[in-house]
Structure 1
Amino acid sequence: MSTVIEQPVQARIVASAPRMETLPATLRYDRRDPFAVHMAFPATATLEGTDVSWEFSRELLATGMDEAAGVGDVRIRPYGYDRTVLEFHAVEGIAMVHVRTAELRLFLERAQALVPSGDEHRFLDLDRDLTDLFGGI
């Protein structure tokens, strides 16, 4: 059984112009890091021209599809009937993207099948995490 789930999604960037540009993004979940979700954007989708990846909690994503959630660098909230807004806050500014809620729910269902909510602690590798924390010492 694979320990990683990757799912391409179409995100629509919200800009000051009335037309929203569609851009590819990839959601990633790894059961070795069971509390986290990663959302990656290719270099062509960023102002800096470099790949960008954001990490946030799986619980934040699940909550944010039904009600506004998050107070830090990543904030998520429902938008209308079928979309969810993800806001990414950085020093350079705020990026807002819309993603179809159905795509996010499918991704979370797949992650839930891999690591059920509440069982995340069973998939932690504390020895590896401590080694990483202390730089392999």
Structure 2
Amino acid sequence: MSSVIEQSVQARMVASAPRMETLPATLQYDRRDPFAVRMAFPAPATLEGTEVAWEFSRELLTTGMDAPAGVGDVRVRPFGYDRTVLEFHAVEGVAMVHVRTAELRRFLERAQELVPVGDEHRFLDLDRSLTDLLGGPC
């Protein structure tokens, strides 16, 4: 069984124009970092012309599909019947994207199969994390 789940989703960029631009994005979950979800936007879809990725907690995504969640750089909230809004706050501004809630739920179900909620601690490599934190082997 693979330790990484990837799923492509279609995100709709919310802009001031009446039409929302659809752009591809990839959700990723790696059981070696069991609390985090990564959402990446490919280079052609970004203003910088380079891939942009945001990492945030799986719990934030789960909670934000049903009620507004987050107070930091990433905020998630339901929108209408079948969409979820993800807000990405940076120095340059705020990017808001809509994603179908069903796609997010499918992704989270797959992550749950890989690492059940509540069992994340079993997949942490604390020795490696401490070595990285302390700058190398002691």
Q: Give the structure-2-normalised TM-score.
A: 0.98
Deviating beyond 4 angstroms after TM superposition, the runs of 4 or more aligned structure 1 residues are none
Provide the rounded CA distance (Å) in 2 between the counterparts of 1:122 and 1:102.
28
Q: Partner letter of residue 41 of structure 1?
A: F
Q: Partner letter of residue 113 of structure 1?
A: E
**Which residue is equivalent to 1:75?**
75
SS of corresponding position for 2:136: coil
Provide the rounded CA distance (Å) in 2 between the counterparts of 1:95 and 1:18.
16
**Which residue is equivalent to 1:28?**
28
Shift of 1:131: 1.4
Shift of 1:36: 0.1
Shift of 1:134: 2.0
SS of corresponding position for 1:2: coil
SS of corresponding position for 2:121: helix
RMSD, aligned CA: 0.6
Provide the rounded CA distance (Å) in 1 between the counterparts of 2:133 and 2:15.
39
SS of corresponding position for 2:16: coil
Shift of 1:135: 2.3
Shift of 1:94: 0.1
Q: Partner letter of residue 127 of structure 1?
A: D
Provide the rounded CA distance (Å) in 2 between the counterparts of 1:104 and 1:48.
26
Provide the rounded CA distance (Å) in 2 between the counterparts of 1:112 and 1:135.
32
**Which residue is equivalent to 1:128?**
128
Paired residues, number: 137
For structure 1, the 5+ residue unaligned runs are none
Shift of 1:48: 0.9
**Which residue is equivalent to 1:10?**
10
Q: Partner letter of residue 96 of structure 1?
A: M
Q: Partner letter of residue 90 of structure 2?
A: A
Shift of 1:15: 0.3
Moved more, 70-79 or 126-135: 126-135
Shift of 1:126: 0.3
2:106 is the counterpart of 1:106:
yes
Provide the rounded CA distance (Å) in 2 between the counterparts of 1:73 and 1:135.
27
SS of corresponding position for 1:109: helix
SS of corresponding position for 1:16: coil
For structure 2, the 5+ residue unaligned runs are none
